[in-house]
Amino acid sequence: MKKQLSLLLALLTLLPSLAACGESEVNTEEETTSVQSSEVVSPAETEPPETELPLPEADYDGYEVRVLNNISNFAYTNIGEEGLTGESLDDAVFNRNKTVEDKLNVTFTIEKREYYDTRDTITKVVSAGEDVYDFYTCDLNILLGHAMNGYVLNAKNVDTLQFDQPWWNKQAIDSVSIGDAVYGFFGDLHTGYFESHNVAAFNKRILTDLNLSDPYELVRNNEWTLDKMIVMMDAAKMDLDGDGKWTVEDQYGLSMFQGNWSLAFITGGNAFIVQKDENNLPVWNGISERFLTIFEAAATGIFDENTNNAINARGTLPGDLELYRLMFIYDRVLFLVTQIGVLKNMRDVNFELGVVPSPKFDQTQENYVSLIFQGANAVGIPLTNPDAERTGVVLDYLAAMSTDTVRDVYINQTLDFKYIQDQESQEMLDIILSTGTFEIAAVYDWGGIAGQVMTLLNAGKTTLASTAAKLEKRVVKAMEETVDTFSKVGQ
């Protein structure tokens, strides 16, 4: 436990930069509101099925469950509406909540706030010892900042939370946990973290015109590798107008927002900056040989040439979105590497698109690994919660009742039929969501190591080994401080 608490102060130094990442590039249209779920359920197709689940029976005598819900500017983070809206996902969420209300005899009051309001509100009410919220959702990096200040309960100490059940994403939770503590967690109750998974969307028109391999078949046959993706990118890149300049009028193999998203190529190869020991504590053993090998393959194969990424194309295109997305929307890019939530802007494209996970490094790798953005929405229980065991039951019910409703509607209707446009992508989405993992070094950026990795990778430089050696003392010190901080504030 002593080593577990030092993790907190290191994260606080990170909050300004990480919160900026959480703003992403997409503007939200949601407004701050106070919501109560109390209307009668209607569409039967979104009601949770009557199946036997390992959930306790409880009657909370009409207790009002108070929720602070973070609004994202790129992800669907809604966890409750006043009533049915006619939108399938909204209605699935509403009916899920109504079912839980009926089963536990509770009501939900859901307050929506922007991410910065969520950060400041939790800080204010908990530091003042005020009992205002039973649980809240927030960008992971911000929530962990709260945890480092001692504002969040260790969910591992809430006996009613069944993290071994399939409605919680154990892999994602474990990847960002330290020691015996879990402060931010993820499950089927909240699509906000689904939307933060990195994917590779592809343009089927370009694929067909160039007679390139089918990415779906490559994934199924264990042939979807980094080298294969680079070869396909190179084949797609063309100076269409023949002017010798790389502009918005040309065709590109790749478009992506450079920054932490480029790490998806490394984590996709099942390589991580920081490892954990047998006690689930972060340890620094230097950059591994595997990490360096994958890093250099991506740096030299993708990022060493500035014109490989459509975000650097000269010129402009009509539209309010960033150029990297506009280039894909305007049918000029083969692969768009982005987060699932960003695909909502693709509903009006005039070509078919598909989605696959980040490529493996090579065919010897056992599983695909999908990077989750460190600003993904997580669930936390504030320290001032009056009855954490009751809240644990409510959260388990919300997550369990979401698997065949909210999650199913999200994958099979919201994504497949509005944005992705093909049935095969459901299989890919199942792979992506079941292999989601955080790069813990990017969440905490101990000693600036993750930032340096991304800077060098995006510049196509292969000097990572020497840079990491220079940062070693800073990295180790920051990690030890973080672990020590968590050991002191653990609840």
Which residue stretches of 299-375 are H helix?
Answer: 323-329
Residue-level pLDDT at 29: 33
Residue-level pLDDT at 52: 76
Burial of residue 55 (number of CB atoms within 10 Å: 0-12, 13-18, 19+): middle
Residue-level pLDDT at 47: 52
Q: State the Cα–Cα distance between residues 406 and 450, nearest whole angstrom.
A: 34
Residue-level pLDDT at 272: 96
Which is nearest to 14 in space by CA: 124, 113, 119? Answer: 119
Contact 32, 117 (CB under 8 A): yes
Range(s) of the chain covered by CATH 3.40.190.10: 7-195+374-437, 198-371+441-489
Which is nearest to 36 in space by CA: 122, 118, 101, 105? Answer: 101
Q: Give pLDDT < 50 ranges for the chain.
A: 1-46
Q: State the Cα–Cα distance between residues 483 and 474, nearest whole angstrom.
A: 14
Q: State the Cα–Cα distance between residues 426 and 338, nearest whole angstrom.
A: 17
Contact 480, 318 (CB under 8 A): no
* Domain 198-371+441-489 CATH class label: alpha beta
Q: Which CATH number fits the domain 7-195+374-437, given the four candidates 3.40.190.10, 3.30.360.10, 3.40.50.300, 3.30.200.20?
A: 3.40.190.10
Residue-level pLDDT at 84: 87
Residue-level pLDDT at 415: 76
Phi, psi torsion values for 181, nearest 5 degrees: -105, 135
Contact 380, 138 (CB under 8 A): yes
For the stretch 328-360, what's the b/e string if a residue is b when 16 or more beta carbons lie within 10 angstroms of its beta carbon? bbbebbbbbbbbbbbbbbbeebebebbbbbbbb
Burial of residue 59 (number of CB atoms within 10 Å: 0-12, 13-18, 19+): exposed
Residue-level pLDDT at 16: 38
Q: Which residues contact 156 (CB under 8 A, 6 or more apart)?
A: 163, 180, 181, 182
What is the reported pTM?
A: 0.86
Contact 322, 257 (CB under 8 A): yes
Pairing of strands 275-276, 282-283: antiparallel
Q: Which residues contact 33 (CB under 8 A, 6 or more apart)?
A: 111, 112
Contact 336, 206 (CB under 8 A): no
Residue-level pLDDT at 80: 87
Q: State the Cα–Cα distance between residues 239 and 212, nearest whole angstrom.
A: 18
Contact 65, 382 (CB under 8 A): no
Residue-level pLDDT at 2: 38
